[in-house]
Chains A and B, each alone.
Chain A
Amino acid sequence: MTHSKEPTRLNVSGTLRGVRRMLPLAAFTVAFGLAFGVAAVHQGLSQWEAMLMSTLMFSAPSQFAALDLWDAELPILAMAITTLAIHTRHTLMSAALYPWLQPLPRWQQFTTVGVLTDSNWAMAISEYHRGERNVGFLLGGGLALWVAWVLGTGIGLFFGGGITEPERYGLDVIMLCFLLVITVGSGPRRELYLSWAAAAASAMVAYWFLPPYLHVVVGALTGGLVATAHFRDADTEEKQ
């Protein structure tokens, strides 16, 4: 609203501003990374596997979900579809960034979205609506979270290996607690209750009666379909 006439750009000072703004959340992210490192060790991943995931996937929900599916024989297709289902929302987020990033050179656009997460997107898009035009704000926020996530993973891998009976300390429930917290932590929205109930029920049916690993895909699709059917009804009611 104040400086909306400024042209879109990407520079160091904007990036540092993004880093500074994201520091409090980055401190939490170190702890989450630590939890991932410990859970990865407990699940039998080697250190390079966990580090590769944290540095290049850079996605807490997908990485924890992948740990849950991790097995002697890796269900690669199920892991791919689960990652896709978790991550498709980032397509919507980068789509929302398109009007802002579009004037930049393409290599800058496609580098910046490499560190796109829910948090730096939410922070940057609200600043964009207030007139921020420096894409560094988005990039810096993402870089701060990335460093924190990788650092935390490293610490978790380092200390997690020394623990012999993880169940005794409740370490095996980190994954469950983390996924639960990110699902309900932003405040469960009422319009999603029906989707979630359908997702839980269909996932359990698939878990018991279908071949292994399909329950995640079945639950995700059911939840999405219920939401679209449900919302269409809500729209028609409003019109009447």
Chain B
Amino acid sequence: MIGTLIPQSLLAIGIMIAITYFSRASGLLIMSRIPIGPKVKRFVDAMSSSVLIAVITPMIIHGDGGARLAALVAGGVAIFLRSPLLAIALGMAVAALWRY
């Protein structure tokens, strides 16, 4: 449904690949020079889950009833039953049922 120019997507994916690799390698490079302090650790720790919250929130608020119900069920199952796959499967199932 979305016609994307090939060079543009290659560029985007290439940049993301570079960033993911750099993140994995940079700890080794930084530590050979300066140790990382606790305050930076706290910032990064909170930021890496906040970014996902920021992605999810508009999907829930602007989603249909099926999407909202899916979020409720998937989140609940993930927290209380600790089963990620079951959470995703049930989330999809309730969204499908809602729209049936």
Q: Taking beta carbons and an 8 Å cutoff, which residues of A are in contact with B? A: 28, 31, 35, 43-46, 49, 52-53, 56-59, 61-62, 65-66, 68, 70-72, 74, 76, 79-80, 82-98, 101-102, 109-110, 113-114, 116, 167-185, 187-188, 192, 195-196, 198-200, 202-204, 207, 215-228, 231-232
Contact = CB atoms under 8 A, between A and B. Distances in A.
A79 B15 contact: yes
Nearest to A231: B42
Q: Which 8 A-B pairs have the closest CB atoms?
A: A223-B50, A219-B54, A94-B27, A227-B46, A95-B27, A224-B47, A44-B2, A170-B92
A63 to B, nearest CB: 8
Nearest to B39: A228
A206 B44 CA distance: 21
Nearest to A86: B51
A203 B58 contact: yes
B35 to A, nearest CB: 8
Interface in B63-94: 63, 66-67, 70-71, 74-75, 78-79, 82, 84-85, 87-88, 91-94
B56 A180 contact: yes
A113 B20 CA distance: 11
20 contacts: A28-B84, A65-B52, A68-B55, A79-B12, A86-B48, A93-B27, A94-B25, A95-B28, A98-B32, A110-B28, A114-B21, A114-B24, A170-B92, A176-B71, A177-B92, A179-B55, A195-B49, A203-B54, A222-B50, A223-B53
B15 to A, nearest CB: 5
Given A85-B48, A176-B56, A177-B92, A57 B66 contact: no
B9 A74 contact: yes
A223 B46 contact: yes
B46 A187 contact: no
A174 B88 contact: yes
B43 A224 contact: yes
Nearest to B53: A199
A80 B13 contact: no
A207 B54 CA distance: 9
Contact of A220 (B11, B21, B47, B95): B47
B51 A220 contact: yes
B87 A185 contact: yes
A88 B39 CA distance: 14
B44 A203 contact: no
Contact of B49 (A53, A192, A202): A192
B50 A220 contact: yes
Nearest to A176: B59
A52 B18 CA distance: 12
B57 A113 contact: no
A181 B36 contact: no
The listed residue with most A CB atoms (<10 A of its CB), out of B12, B17, B84, is B12
